[in-house]
Every structure is written in C-alpha cells, then in structure tokens.
Amino acid sequence: MAKYAMVIDIDLCTSCYACFLACKDEHCNQAHLPVTAAQPHMGHRWMDIKDVERGKSARVKVATFPIPCMHCQDAPCEKAATDHAVVRRDDGIVLIDPLKAKGQKQLVDACPYNAIYWNEEENLPQKCTLCAHWLDQGYKEPRCVEVCPTQALTFGDLDDPDSEVRKKMGQGAVVLEPGDKGLNPLVTYLNVPGMLVAGTVFCPDVQEVARDARVTLSGNGTAQSVKANGFGDFEFENLPRGREYSLKIELPGYQPWETTLTTNEHWVEGRIQLARQ
Ligand code: SF4
Ligand code: SF4
C-alpha cells in the first residue's frame, strides 16, 4: 500500500491555472462514485490558486500558492463529521463520503484551509480527492499534477525511497499555516517566501537616489550587506518571522542612518533620507 504525499514548489508556480482547469475538466458534471459526486461548474475551487502579496506600495511582491485539500492525517473535518462521513484511507487520502455526508454543512466550517465547498443542489460538502478514482485504477498522479507545465506539483509514494516526492520533502518542505497545529497534512510546500525587509534610499540635498549606498542588516546571529541599486532600492528576502534586526545604511559624505525593526510583519520603507555630514 502506497503512502501518498504531494509537495508544491512555490518558486516554480507561474499562476497559469492549468491545475485548476484540469480539476474542473476531471470533476465537473462527472461523478466518480463512490469517491465523489460531480463538482458544480461554479463556486468550487478544489484546487484553489491564491496570490499572496507581501510588502506595500510601491514595493509589492506576489507569490502564488496552489491550495488543494491538505489531506490532514489528523483532520478537523474528520472529527466534525457524523456517521463516519469523512474517511482517511490507508494510503492517507481523506475523502468525504458523497452519501453519508449529505446535509453535513458543518464540515465546510471545520476545515482550517477553507478547502471544503458546499454543493447547494446536492446538499453536500465536497473537496479535492487527489483523483483517488484514477489512483485506484493504477494511475500514478492526480490530473492537476499531470498537467502542471513547470513541475511545481510533485506527487508520489512516500514509502518509495527513490520517489521524487520523498526527495522534495527532504529539501525542507514545510506545512502551510495554520497546519502546524498538529494536523500532519500530506501536502507540503517548498520555497514559501519568508519576511521581506526593503526600502529606497534618497539624498535630498542633491535630489538623487543613493545609488551604491551600503545597507547592512544585522541580527538573528548574522549580518548581511547589499548595495542599493541604480534606483536606490535594496531588499532582504526570506527572513524568519518575529526576529529583531538592526538596519544600517552608509554612503560616503553622508551620516549613517540606522534603525531597529522586527519582522512580525514585512518592513518596507519607501523613502529613507540621508543627511549630509
Ligand atoms: Fe479536511 Fe481541510 Fe484537512 Fe482537507 S485540509 S483534510 S478538508 S481539514
Ligand atoms: Fe502553478 Fe502548476 Fe498550477 Fe500552473 S499548473 S498554477 S504552474 S501549480
């Protein structure tokens, strides 16, 4: 018996929506009983595509997160269900029983990832099945994984030491929040962007950006330096959340500029002004 897992690499996702459309193609107007009833054409996003912004105007970065059901091994939806309407199979896939789950609208609110959708017509909660109906016939991966043009989605058997999914998990795949509360999901993520510290340095006396100003970020046991680019911009990416740093900016002929900051949220300063010495 396989033990399935999926790793989603945020760096490789181009927000093309091919996975979303493949899911629609596979499930809309086609029931795959006993795994699932048909997905309605509108309103359901069993493979959701979420663009997450970090920073603020005029420095905003966007990362795309494909978000299916995480197939939690300690699943809140399973606990919220009555009559064993949610089952976790031996291969790890979590399924909503399309007959037993009729009328169990409480399942929609039970999922911390908002991965369960309500089918008004069928009076039924529904979600991603990892295309279990195909896997049970010997296919190797769900439709979303099959169509992804950049291999941002990797699926396979965790018990196979040579599987690509196991190698990817070994590269430091993490659970997407809020799943760190012991939900133990089968779906994990690589290259989730961390906190951002960025700014633009300006010399008001000459009305010019401070090209080549040296910017040093110290804290968390390390110090890293960059030079402001031709637009006076600098940035430090993928910092851990909730740490204290000191930021220092130096440019010959100007007084050093210093501040302290905490990465509880992204820190972006649009116009840091240097004073003449
Ligand atoms: Fe259930 Fe939501 Fe976890 Fe999927 S992500 S198993 S729907 S709690
Ligand atoms: Fe991202 Fe691949 Fe889905 Fe396109 S198909 S949105 S690249 S995960």
The whole-number pLDDT of residue 254 equals: 98
Closest CA to 74 of 231, 173, 177, 186: 186
Q: Determine the Cα–Cα distance for residues 141 and 154; give it in Å rounded to an integer.
A: 9
What pLDDT, in 10s, does the model give residues 48-59? Answer: 999 999 988 778
What local confidence, expressed as pLDDT, does residue 59 receive?
A: 83
Percent with pLDDT over 70 in the chain: 99
Question: Are 245 and 260 in contact, with CB atoms under 8 Å apart?
Answer: yes
Separation of 35 CA from ligand 2 center, angstroms? 24
The whole-number pLDDT of residue 65 equals: 98
Q: Are 156 and 25 in contact (CB under 8 A)?
A: no
Distance 16 CA to ligand 2 centre (A): 5
Across 29-46, average pLDDT = 96
Closest CA to 77 of 118, 101, 107: 107
Share above pLDDT 90 across residues of the chain, in percent, rounded to a whole number: 93
Q: Ligand 1: distance of its center to the CA of 86 in Å?
A: 10
Rounded Cα gap, residues 248 and 243, in angstroms? 16
**What are the pLDDT digits (tens) for 199-211?**
999 999 999 999 9
Q: What are phi and psi of 96, to 5 degrees?
A: -95, 120
State residue 179's pLDDT score. 67
For the cut 70, the answer to whether the pLDDT of residue 180 exceeds it is no
The residue to mutate among 19, 45, 176, having the most atoms of ligand 2 within 8 angstroms of its beta carbon, is 19
| CA 149 to chain CA centroid, nearest Å | 18
Mean pLDDT of the chain: 96
Residue nearest to atom 2 of ligand 1 (CA): 111
Give me 6's structure tokens: 């999926």
Please name which ligand lies nearest the alpha carbon of 114. Answer: 1
Query: How far apart are alpha carbons 228 and 7 in whole angstroms?
Result: 35
Beta bridge partners of residue 208, listed in sequence order: 203
Is the pTM higher than 0.85? The answer reads yes
Query: What single-letter amino acid sits at 77?
Result: C
**What average pLDDT does range 98-127 have in this prediction?**
98
Residue 22 has which token pair?
A: 């493949």
pLDDT at 182: 87
**Among all ligands shown, which has an atom nearest to the Cα of 63?**
2
